Chain A
Amino acid sequence: MVRLITHNLLACHARGCTSNNFPLRFSDAQIETRKADFNADFIRAFMPKLEWSALVDAAKQLGDTSLPLEAPDMLDEEFLKNLHRVLLEIHIEEGSMTCPNCNHRYPISNGIPNMLLAEDEIA
Chain B
Amino acid sequence: MPKDVIPVVVSADPGTYEDAHVHAIYDDIADHFSSTRYKPWPIIAEFLSEIPTGWMGLDAGTGNGKYLSLPPHPPGKIWSIGLDRSINLLRLARSAGGVTREVVLGNVLDYCWRKGCFDFAISIATIHHLTTSERRRVAVQRLLEAVSPNHGRVLIYVWAIEQDGLSKRSIPTNGECSTSGQDVLVPWVSSDREQNATNAHNGVARVYNRYYHMFAKGELIDLVKGAALASGLELGPQPGGETGARGVEIVREGWERSNYYIELRLWQVR
- The reply to whether B105 and A46 contact each other, CB–CB distance below 8 Å, is no
Chain A residues, Cβ within 8 Å of B94: 1, 111-112
Tell me, rounded to whole Å, the shortest Cβ–Cβ distance linking A46 to chain B: 5
Contact flags A75-98 to B (C-beta < 8 A → 1, else 0): 000000000000010010000000
Residue A58 at the chain B interface, CB threshold 8 Å: no
Residue B74 at the chain A interface, CB threshold 8 Å: yes
Residue A10 at the chain B interface, CB threshold 8 Å: yes
- The reply to whether A38 and B117 contact each other, CB–CB distance below 8 Å, is no
Contact flags B116-128 to A (C-beta < 8 A → 1, else 0): 0111000000000
Residues of A within 8 A of B (CB): 1-3, 5-6, 9-13, 22, 34, 36-39, 41-46, 49, 51, 88, 91, 110-117, 119, 122-123
- Cα A88 to Cα B129 in complex, Å, equals 32
In B80-103, which residues have CB < 8 Å from any A CB? 81, 85, 87, 90-91, 94, 99-103
Interface contacts (Cβ under 8 Å), in number, total 97
Given contact pairs A6-B81, A36-B100, A49-B56, enumerate 19 new A-B contacts (beta carbons under 8 Å): A1-B100, A1-B102, A10-B104, A13-B112, A36-B76, A37-B75, A37-B76, A38-B76, A39-B74, A39-B76, A42-B54, A46-B79, A49-B117, A110-B91, A115-B104, A115-B105, A116-B107, A117-B110, A123-B110
Residue B111 at the chain A interface, CB threshold 8 Å: yes
Q: Across chains A and B, which 5 residue pairs bring their CB atoms closest together, nearest first?
A: A45-B54, A39-B76, A37-B75, A115-B106, A115-B112
Chain A residues, Cβ within 8 Å of B32: none
In B231-249, which residues have CB < 8 Å from any A CB? none
Tell me, rounded to whole Å, the shortest Cβ–Cβ distance linking B198 to chain A: 21
- Cα A83 to Cα B15 in complex, Å, equals 41
- The reply to whether A11 and B114 contact each other, CB–CB distance below 8 Å, is yes
Tell me, rounded to whole Å, the shortest Cβ–Cβ distance linking B129 to chain A: 16
- Cα A84 to Cα B99 in complex, Å, equals 16
Residue B66 at the chain A interface, CB threshold 8 Å: no
- Cα A51 to Cα B75 in complex, Å, equals 24
- The reply to whether A122 and B54 contact each other, CB–CB distance below 8 Å, is no
Tell me, rounded to whole Å, the shortest Cβ–Cβ distance linking B111 to chain A: 6
